[in-house]
Amino acid sequence: MTSEQLKAIEKMAEVLSRKLQVTPVSVVLQAPAQLTIKRRNGDYRRQSFIGGSRFIIQSAYAGKRGGVILVGIPGEPLADVRAIEVPLDDMAEHFGPVSSKELNDILTGAKERIEAELQQAAELEVAAEKARFADPAFSSW
């Protein structure tokens, strides 16, 4: 991945996290699955959950491998589970299309905003380069 793509993913995760903090998304696990959990002591591990388990997705961050990771809390308190972490790409697989639609509605605005910001930054960079070359002192000896 290029640095621009990583920046865009980080920006998307930041925008998504802000939106999720305002309006968390409740999701229900469709079938038994193993999810990554963050334990109360801060360690991570995989844990099995049964279908029907409810989680509330509250934030997001950019993962080390370039994907967006969604962070949720269990709907019912679970011993030793502080949060679950699910890659955005795996949401439809674990939580079904309804949760994906809700998240996609949130993401649509985030993606559009990020693309607009990246476009604006590129235009500013081109304008700065043109201004530098337009300087009459640039080509003089």
Q: Flag whether 68 is in a domain.
A: yes
Where b means 16+ CB within 10 Å and e means fewer, 124-138 reads eeeeeeeeeeeeeee
Tell me how many domains the chain contains.
1
No. of helices (H) and no. of strands (E), the chain = 2, 6
Q: Flag whether 22 is in a domain.
A: yes
Q: Flag whether 139 is in a domain.
A: no
Q: Flag whether 16 is in a domain.
A: yes
Q: Flag whether 67 is in a domain.
A: yes
pLDDT at site 38: 92
Q: Flag whether 141 is in a domain.
A: no
pLDDT at site 83: 92
pLDDT at site 138: 59
* The one-letter amino acid at 62: A
Q: Which residue has the tokens 């999720």?
A: 20
pLDDT at site 36: 92
* CA–CA distance, 37 with 22 (Å, rounded to integer): 23
pLDDT at site 114: 67
Per-residue pLDDT of the chain (141 residues; tens, 9 = 90+): 567 777 777 888 888 888 888 888 888 888 999 999 999 898 999 999 888 889 998 999 988 887 889 999 988 887 788 999 998 878 878 887 756 566 667 666 666 766 777 777 778 878 877 777 776 665 555
Predicted TM-score (pTM) above 0.85: no
Q: Flag whether 140 is in a domain.
A: no
Ramachandran class of 83: left when φ > 0, alpha when ψ lies in -120 to 50, beta otherwise: beta
* CA–CA distance, 4 with 2 (Å, rounded to integer): 5
pLDDT at site 93: 84
Structural domain boundaries enclosing 54: 3-134
**Strand stretches in 1-141, DSSP E:** 25-28, 33-39, 44-49, 54-62, 68-74, 81-87
| φ and ψ of 38, to 5 deg | -105, 120
